[in-house]
Amino acid sequence: MDKKKVPGNTITRDVKNLAAPTGNIYESVVILYKRANQIAAAEKKELTKKLEDFKNERDTLEEQFENREQIEISKFYERQPKPALVAIEEFEEGDLEYRMAKHDEDAPAQ
């Protein structure tokens, strides 16, 4: 997914279009929620990995705030589209793969 195509701000969306692929808006929302969490976790892991290079046990609090490269990396990630917007864009473009769990009709209720 090209993040340049993702809008930077929240836009109004037709709920019927979001519900169309699954037939149920609640299932669509769960799919979007799970994908947004995956994207957020991946971005957090990537950011943490990049910021670990700057970690030094002997730095004082003042030195940590003055590191320009660290600030630039953090600002870059702040400007990225929100994970929920990326997930919605992937879902609308058909780039998001998902599958529904099958319920066993003959299984006794627990």
Average pLDDT across the chain, whole number:
81
For residue 109, give every residue at least 6 positions away whose Cβ sits within 8 Å of its Cβ, in sequence order, or none: none
Confidence band of 103 (pLDDT split at 50, 70, 90) = low
Q: What are the residue boundaries of the structural domains of the chain, listed by start? A: 17-93
Q: For 39-78, what is each residue's pLDDT tens digit?
A: 999 999 998 888 887 766 655 555 555 677 888 888 888 8
Closest alpha carbon to 43 in 5, 13, 1, 105: 1
Token output for 37? 């969490």
d(CA 107, CA 55): 54
pLDDT at 11: 80
Q: How many CA atoms lie within 13 A of 44 on its CB side?
A: 7
SS3 17: helix
